[in-house]
Structure 1
Amino acid sequence: MRPYQGAVAAILLSVAAVSAAQTYHIADRWKLGGQGGWDYLLSDNAAHRLYIAHNSRVEVVDSSTGKPVGAITGLKSTHGVALNPDGKTGYISDGAGNVIVVFNRADLAIQAKIPAGTNPDGITFEPVTKTVWAFNGRSKDVTVLDTPSNAVIATVALPGKPEFAQTDGHGNVFDNIEDKNEIVKLDAASHAIVATWPLQDCESPSGMAIDRTTHLLFSVCDGGKMAIVDYTTGKQLGTAAIGDSPDAAGFDAKHDLAFSSNGDGTLTIVNAAKPGFPVLQTLKTAKGARTMAIDGSTGRVYLVTAQFGAAPQATDDHPHPRPSIVPDTFEIIVVER
């Protein structure tokens, strides 16, 4: 009987481990409404606010209740938001406007619009140099903004089309180069590319997350892959299996988990502390929910999407048109442990 009991115990422990891993669920859905597409989200954990790039505006939402706080309006096509650690100032990449928008976080008033390159997309604040880096998708360069003076101090050419970026807190900036399947490392003080790291088995890297404790970058790619790179050496340590059509990655430092939000309607949760980077859970979310933000203080994950209508007729210029977005269906999906 003892061998049988031992086998049963092992099975029960295995089931319990799997059950414990399947801990994330959709806790709420917050309707925002409005029209048009969307891009990146950012969580201001201390202020309990979410900033959401939504068409020609940035929605600001109370991340505890889902109630709207306000919006930064009068823009053309917003992509991302970065926040100054001073707690007072924020920055928006306005792609169609080709500007970096500086705004006051207290009243959401626009303070300045600074010319950038063509179609600024990913944007991040670098704390050592107190600069904002706006990565320009069409001109394939990065605009560096000195925040004390709100003056552009550099434009750095890149080897290809940039996507999302991260900083390590020690004067280095990392960015995915989507059409080259690589990561570039930039020195924030010299405004120079100091390393280029090819990604293996990872096509069109878009979203990027960072673990500043174990020095890892997580780049999500087409083909259902997440590349994990040691940013002290540039060595790729492995890949994890994720959903299709991702656009954002996230990292929860409290639980050593990496996330990929996927356009196929899934959220992939990866164990970043275990060799091989196994997937702990694939949570069904909603079609189009491919960008997200993580509140590191609560562990909540926020995704956004809307309902879709029919796609426009294909043309030579747009052979694969996106489906139309049903007005007033835009929503935040709240995921919790």
Structure 2
Amino acid sequence: MLASSAVGHAAPQLTQEIPIPGATRWDYVTADTRAHRVYVAHMDRVEVIDARTHQPVLQLSPTPGVHGAAPAPDLNRVFTSNGSSDSMGVFDMTTGQLLETVKVGKKPDAIIYDSLTQRVFTFNGKSNDVTAVDAVTLKVLAASIPAGGVPEFAVANGKGQVYFNIEDTAQMAVLDTRSMSITSHYSLAPCDEPSGLAMDPQERLYSVCRNAIMVISDPSRGVVMGQVPIGKGADGAAWMDGFAYSPNGLDGTLTVVKEGPPGQFVGVTTPSAQGARTIVADPELHELYSPTADFKEPGDKDHLKRPAAVPDTFKLLVISSPR
């Protein structure tokens, strides 16, 4: 990878590839930064990787059509969004044992655990709503909170708010975890079809968009603060060490974004790996993790069509951030 002098630091470096057996289909990757574990949603299972040793330590299964996992360390549980069965899986964090399956909305995609209320929220892409579940009793508290469109990735601030992209209307939605209601929406224009989302310590939000830009917004004011060009095919975003990251899967690049003068954002795009479109960070270890595979041929960048993967080549990239 090339030096990123324009954003004030050296580019992140690919330091390791962790092979993961099984099908070459995946979606979100999430992290428990206290336990330094990475959760890789992987078709019908979730692979759990120890971020310190870079070794697989657990597998959560069955998770039919899983899109994401939400660890709840205070409850020793992990929750999964099972898109093929319209359900949420509940697993023991230590043993990986399936404890319960809870029915939620149609095609749950993103999933978030809110430690403040001890509630889990699934963001359901086909029913255009959010389901709220008590993470302790596993009782459904709100079966269908209208999202106002197709919900995508979500982040929680730990203070009672969850922010999530709405893909088809290019908006940001704000969910109050106490009242279990949507309190506001605001436009992310000029973003088209926002998917991946990250949040910085100031609670500014970084949405990656189908039209190859990242928009930065302030939910406290409900406004877009800036935009930065990225590559094509991003489906995730991360924040670490003062930078936002966009993994551009179709282009095989990684865009690093930093604020220059207040309210002005700049980015540098460097080579990464084709297919690496989702990402998560462990700030204490100063590492990023992005799943991908090897591919038979390039994807169609004009139509954002993902390429066909070579069987048995699924892997997790470990990318170190210079400090």
TM-score (norm 1): 0.88
Aligned to 2:206: 218
Aligned to 1:7: none
1:149-174 deviations in Å (ceiling 9; x for gaps): 10110020111111001112111111
On the 8 A contact 2:133/2:140 being kept in 1, the answer is yes
Structure number with greater CO (CA < 8 Å, separation at least 6) is 2
Q: Is structure 2 residue 193 aligned with structure 1 residue 204?
A: yes
Aligned to 2:314: 330
Query: What value does the CA root-mean-square deviation take over the aligned residues?
Result: 2.1
TM-score (norm 2): 0.91
Q: Is structure 2 residue 214 aligned with structure 1 residue 266?
A: no
Residue 97 of structure 1 deviates from its aligned partner by 1.2
Equivalent-residue separation in structure 1 for 2:210 and 2:186 (angstroms):
18
1:156 paired residue among 132, 135, 145: 145
SS of alignment partner, residue 28 of structure 2 = strand
Residue 192 of structure 1 deviates from its aligned partner by 1.5
On the 8 A contact 2:14/2:317 being kept in 1, the answer is yes
SS of alignment partner, residue 194 of structure 2 = coil
Correspondences of 1:290-309 after superposition (within 5 Å): 290-309=277-296
Residue 260 of structure 1 deviates from its aligned partner by 0.8
Q: Is structure 2 residue 16 aligned with structure 1 residue 28?
A: yes
Residue 322 of structure 1 deviates from its aligned partner by 4.6
Correspondences of 1:1-20 after superposition (within 5 Å): 18=6
Equivalent-residue separation in structure 2 for 1:270 and 1:16 (angstroms):
10
- For structure 2, the 5+ residue unaligned runs are none
Equivalent-residue separation in structure 2 for 1:16 and 1:268 (angstroms):
10
Residue 307 of structure 1 deviates from its aligned partner by 1.5
Equivalent-residue separation in structure 2 for 1:18 and 1:228 (angstroms):
18
1:243 paired residue among 231, 247, 265: 231
Aligned to 2:87: 99
Larger radius of gyration: 1
The amino acid that maps onto 2:180 is: H
- For structure 1, the 5+ residue unaligned runs are 1-14, 312-318
1:244-294 deviations in Å (ceiling 9; x for gaps): 111001111xx2111111112111111146432111x32311111001110
On the 8 A contact 2:30/2:69 being kept in 1, the answer is yes
Q: Is structure 2 residue 25 aligned with structure 1 residue 37?
A: yes
Correspondences of 1:282-293 after superposition (within 5 Å): 282-293=269-280
Shift of the 132–16 alpha-carbon distance from structure 1 to 2, 3 Å rule, reads closer
1:115-154 deviations in Å (ceiling 9; x for gaps): 0111100011112211111000011001101112101100
On the 8 A contact 1:88/1:105 being kept in 2, the answer is yes
The amino acid that maps onto 1:334 is: V
Equivalent-residue separation in structure 1 for 2:306 and 2:62 (angstroms):
25
1:101-124 deviations in Å (ceiling 9; x for gaps): 110110011111000111100011
Identical-residue share of aligned pairs (%): 36
Equivalent-residue separation in structure 1 for 2:18 and 2:181 (angstroms):
42
1:204-261 deviations in Å (ceiling 9; x for gaps): 00011112x3220111101221111111111111111211111001111xx2111111
Equivalent-residue separation in structure 2 for 1:16 and 1:117 (angstroms):
43
The structure richer in helix per residue is 1
On the 8 A contact 1:257/1:273 being kept in 2, the answer is no
Residue 16 of structure 1 deviates from its aligned partner by 10
On the 8 A contact 2:63/2:80 being kept in 1, the answer is no
